[in-house]
């Protein structure tokens, strides 16, 4: 069902901003054995999204790296197969959406203790529009959320059991997560620390509450966990070696990218500089040189920032409260209320019962949100913290489970029905987003936001997806000539648009004018002159169409 709901936008949305470059990187690796486009993303998910188009006949054109957008655009439009290749690429990401739901079910079954409650958590996650919206695209964000969530599950399982087999499974899951997107490095790395602290606190509390038992819990688990950590690290490195392994040898390109990464670190201070010194004197296989280059490229991107928009302001370095605002406006209100409350309740019960599993979701939510808020300067969408939504779903499911238990325990029928009404209404409200937002899950904002373009834009509202809708509407209106301000990666020259003029900033035009929200908010003064006119209509959710006499 989730896949069908997500696929509802496939024939409506033009390619979004990042899709061509991801496709180009995957096709290049499959077709030529190279991986040189936008190397701040690892190859695993890109290969899977490119597999369908490649088997259908897509091939690399050899556009010079490192920017692969032009290459991806050429692949998409090759021989008139645009929609075929784009649909196949998007289909390649649906298994990750399924993995996200399955892993949520694993967490919920372990925490909530019943199959019905676990299915409720999955259903709550399915009803989150940003998850379905990004799950429908040939991009890496749902893939990252799925693999990171699985790695966190495996991590918690190993920390509780201290079993070497669980450590190996955690290493494999962590390696796959890092090979999917590099945000797994800080998310899983910090989770290892915080969950280990939680596990130690639970052991300490258990020892403190038990009579005649204090020291026996301390020694052996530490040695066992250190051995497990060594096993997990080795397995993760092997998984990454396999992910970066299958490609043609290009010593000059590898050396160029690795030397850039080392030089960048050497220019920094503190631990970054020391790491650069170590790497400069350390022999590494080619696979790990590519890995180092990718991680350092992400760090460099974060250090320099990324142009972002929030609440009418534009910034290159972002805001500490960006993700708090994004969660507040992009999350359905019932889940926004019930999720955190349920997580707090679950954590309280976990502390009382000395249950590290019950404490983990709240701890992980806080850890990831604090890291993203404090350290991330790439504030371009809720998509970067989609992994939080499964934990919100777990919290909401726990809250509803407890409310249902309280309702069943009441002897007074009238009070019982009154007590059950509120949770049922919240559940129906949450599920109603599935049909109210369909098929526009990507630009969804909750009911508290009357004008989304005044809050967030970029991948939260306008990612260039409504170009096809503009083409259809322009044909219906028989627009003879169009002035267009659009921000995206589609090739306008190869799109079925009317005779077109690219609308320059701060230069008023007459006739039919279309402007996207992303274009309008990159520099609010660029198209401020349009504020004097009322749009004829809004195309999709993101493009305003004007007629200026």
CA atoms within 13 A of residue 302's CA, in its CB half-sphere: 17
Is residue 105 within 8 A of residue 118, CB to CB? The reply is yes
* pLDDT at 255 (0 to 100): 87
In the sheet that holds 500-502, the strands lie side by side as 500-502, 482-485, 511-516, 543-548, 537-539
Cα gap 291→179, rounded to integer Å: 9
Contacts made by residues 473-478, CB under 8 angstroms, sequence distance 24+: 473/537, 473/539, 473/545, 474/498, 474/512, 477/512
Length of the chain: 549
Cα gap 457→379, rounded to integer Å: 11
Alpha helix (H) residue ranges in 332-412: 333-353, 356-375, 388-409
Is residue 117 within 8 A of residue 138, CB to CB? The reply is no
Is residue 107 within 8 A of residue 124, CB to CB? The reply is no
Cα gap 122→171, rounded to integer Å: 25
Is residue 474 within 8 A of residue 496, CB to CB? The reply is no
pLDDT tens by residue, 236-288: 999 999 999 877 777 888 888 899 999 999 998 889 899 999 988 889 998 89
* pLDDT at 417 (0 to 100): 60
Residue 456's region, left for phi above 0, alpha for psi from -120 to 50, else beta, is beta
pTM of the complete model: 0.94
Alpha helix (H) residue ranges in 376-498: 388-409, 413-436, 458-461, 467-477
Give the 3-state secondary structure of residue 77: helix
C-beta neighbour count of 353 within 10 angstroms: 11
* pLDDT at 218 (0 to 100): 44
* pLDDT at 478 (0 to 100): 95
Is residue 396 within 8 A of residue 342, CB to CB? The reply is yes
Whose tokens are 């195309």? That residue is: 539
* pLDDT at 214 (0 to 100): 44
Is residue 329 within 8 A of residue 449, CB to CB? The reply is yes
Is residue 27 within 8 A of residue 50, CB to CB? The reply is yes
Is residue 66 within 8 A of residue 89, CB to CB? The reply is no
Strand 511-516 and strand 482-485: pairing? parallel
- Planar angle of CA 523, 529, 531, nearest 5 degrees: 95
Is residue 418 within 8 A of residue 403, CB to CB? The reply is no
As given in the structure block, the two tokens for residue 42 are 């690892």
Q: Give CA separation, 359 vs 209, 388, 398, in Å.
A: 18, 15, 13
Per-residue pLDDT of the chain (549 residues; tens, 9 = 90+): 888 999 999 999 999 999 999 999 999 999 999 999 999 999 999 999 999 999 999 999 999 989 999 999 999 999 899 999 999 999 999 999 999 999 999 999 999 988 889 999 999 999 999 999 999 999 999 999 999 999 999 999 999 999 999 999 999 999 999 999 999 999 999 999 999 999 988 888 777 776 544 444 444 578 888 999 999 999 999 999 999 987 777 788 888 889 999 999 999 888 989 999 998 888 999 889 999 999 999 999 999 999 999 999 999 999 999 999 999 999 999 999 999 999 999 999 999 999 999 999 999 999 999 999 999 999 999 999 999 999 999 999 999 988 877 666 565 656 556 656 777 888 899 999 999 999 999 999 999 999 999 999 999 999 999 999 999 999 999 999 999 999 999 999 999 999 999 999 999 999 999 999 999 998 888 999 999 999 999 999 999 999 999
DSSP state of 13: P
């Amino acid at each position: 069902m989730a896949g069908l709901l997500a696929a509802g936008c496939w024939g409506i949305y033009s390619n979004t901003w990042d899709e061509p470059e991801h496709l180009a990187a995957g096709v290049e690796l499959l077709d030529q054995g190279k991986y040189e486009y936008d190397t701040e993303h690892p190859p695993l998910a890109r290969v899977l999204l490119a597999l369908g188009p490649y088997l259908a006949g897509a091939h690399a054109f050899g556009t010079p790296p490192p920017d692969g957008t032009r290459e991806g655009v050429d692949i998409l439009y090759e021989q008139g197969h645009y929609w075929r290749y784009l649909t196949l690429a998007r289909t390649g990401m649906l298994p990750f959406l399924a993995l996200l739901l399955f892993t949520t079910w694993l967490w919920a079954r372990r925490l909530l203790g019943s199959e019905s409650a676990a299915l409720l958590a999955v259903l709550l996650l399915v009803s989150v529009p940003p998850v379905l919206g990004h799950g429908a695209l040939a991009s890496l964000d749902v893939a990252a959320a799925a693999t990171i969530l699985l790695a966190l599950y495996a991590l918690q399982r190993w920390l509780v059991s201290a079993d070497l087999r669980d450590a190996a499974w955690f290493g494999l899951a962590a390696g796959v997560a890092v090979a999917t997107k590099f945000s797994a490095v800080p998310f899983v790395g910090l989770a290892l620390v915080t969950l280990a602290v939680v596990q130690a606190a639970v052991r300490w509390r258990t020892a403190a509450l038990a009579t005649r038992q204090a020291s026996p819990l301390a020694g052996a688990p530490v040695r066992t966990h250190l051995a497990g950590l060594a096993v997990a690290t080795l397995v993760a490195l092997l998984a990454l070696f396999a992910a970066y392994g299958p490609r043609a040898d290009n010593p000059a390109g590898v050396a160029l990218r690795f030397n850039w990464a080392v030089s960048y670190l050497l220019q920094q201070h503190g631990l970054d500089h020391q790491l650069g010194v170590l790497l400069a004197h350390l022999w590494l296989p080619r696979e790990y040189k590519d890995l180092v280059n990718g991680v350092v490229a992400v760090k460099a991107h974060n250090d320099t920032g990324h142009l972002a928009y929030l609440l009418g302001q534009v910034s290159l370095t972002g805001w500490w409260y960006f993700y708090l605002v994004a969660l507040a406006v992009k999350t359905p209100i019932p889940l926004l209320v019930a999720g955190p409350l349920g997580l707090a309740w679950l954590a309280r019960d976990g502390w009382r019962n000395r249950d590290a599993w019950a404490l983990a979701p709240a701890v992980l939510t806080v850890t990831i949100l604090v890291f993203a808020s404090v350290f991330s300067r790439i504030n371009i969408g809720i998509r970067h913290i989609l992994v939080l939504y499964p934990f919100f779903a777990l919290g909401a499911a726990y809250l509803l489970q407890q409310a249902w238990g309280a309702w069943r325990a009441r002897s007074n029928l009238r009070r019982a029905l009154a007590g059950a009404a509120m949770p049922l209404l919240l559940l129906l409200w949450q599920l109603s987003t599935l049909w109210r937002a369909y098929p526009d899950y990507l630009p969804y904002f909750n009911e508290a936001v009357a004008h989304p373009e005044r809050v967030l834009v970029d991948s939260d509202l306008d990612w260039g997806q409504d170009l096809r809708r503009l083409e259809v509407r322009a044909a219906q209106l028989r627009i003879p000539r169009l002035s267009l301000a659009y921000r995206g990666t589609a090739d306008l020259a190869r799109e079925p648009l009317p005779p077109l003029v690219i609308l320059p900033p701060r230069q008023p035009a007459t006739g039919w004018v279309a402007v996207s929200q992303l274009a309008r908010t990159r520099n609010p003064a660029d198209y401020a002159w349009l504020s004097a006119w009322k749009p004829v209509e809004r195309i999709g959710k993101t493009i305003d169409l004007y007629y200026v006499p």
